[in-house]
Chain A
Amino acid sequence: MKKLIKSTLLVSLSMAAGFAFAQSATDDIAKYREMIADGNPSELYEAAGEDIWAKPMGPKNVSLQKCDLGKGPGVVKGASAELPRYFKDTNKVQDLESRIITCMEKLQGYDPKEIISAGFEKGKRKDVEAVVAYVVTHSKGMKIKVPNKHPKEKEMYAMGEKAFFFQGGPMDFSCASCHGEDGKRIRLQDLPNITEQKGAALGFGYWPAYRVSSGNFWTMQRRLNDCYRQQRFPEPIYTSDVTIALSVYMGVKANGGVMNTPGLKR
Chain B
Amino acid sequence: MKKIHLLTSAAVAMIASTSLMAQSAFEKAHNASFKENGIAKLDRLERDDTQKFCSEPAALAGKGDPKKREAIEKANMATIKQPSDGKYLGDWKEGEKIAQSGRGATWTDKAGTPNGGGCYNCHQINKKEISHGNIGPSLWNYGKVRGNTDAVVQYTWGKIYNAKAYNACSNMPRMGHYKLLTEQQIRDVMALLLDPASPVNQ
Contact = CB atoms under 8 A, between A and B. Distances in A.
B34 A187 contact: no
Given A176-B57, A234-B40, A242-B33, A170 B131 contact: no
Contacts of B51: 167-168, 172
A87 interface: no
Nearest to A24: B130
A58 to B, nearest CB: 26
B135 interface: yes
A242 B35 contact: no
Contacts of B71: none
A176 B45 CA distance: 16
Given A170-B173, A176-B57, A232-B106, A186 B40 contact: no
Contact residue range for chain A?
35 or more
Interface residues of B, number: 43
Contact of A234 (B41, B164, B171): B41
Among A25, A169, A171, A172, the one with the most B-chain Cβ atoms within 10 Å of its Cβ is A172
B45 A233 contact: yes
B67 interface: no
Contacts of B173: 170-173
B196 to A, nearest CB: 26
A50 interface: no
Contacts of A234: 34-37, 40-42, 44-45, 107
Nearest to B60: A176
Contact of B171 (A24, A177, A235): A177
Interface string B1-43: 0000000000000000000000000100110111111001110
A183 interface: yes
A189 to B, nearest CB: 8
A162 B54 CA distance: 12
Contacts of A159: 26, 29-30
Contact of B33 (A168, A171, A229, A241): A241
Contacts of B40: 169, 229, 232-235
B182 interface: no
B80 interface: no
Nearest to A242: B33
Nearest to A180: B60
Interface string B52-68: 10111100100000000
Interface of B: 26, 29-30, 32-37, 40-42, 44-47, 50-52, 54-57, 60, 105-108, 120-122, 130-135, 164, 171, 173-174, 178, 180
| 8 interchain residue pairs of minimum CB distance | A242-B33, A240-B33, A171-B173, A235-B37, A167-B51, A234-B34, A170-B178, A169-B44
27 contacts: A25-B130, A159-B26, A166-B30, A167-B47, A167-B55, A168-B46, A169-B45, A170-B178, A171-B105, A171-B180, A172-B174, A180-B60, A186-B122, A186-B135, A187-B133, A188-B130, A229-B106, A229-B107, A230-B106, A232-B40, A232-B44, A233-B40, A234-B36, A234-B37, A235-B37, A235-B40, A241-B33
Given A167-B52, A233-B34, 8 more contacts: A170-B105, A172-B173, A184-B134, A184-B135, A186-B121, A187-B121, A234-B107, A237-B33
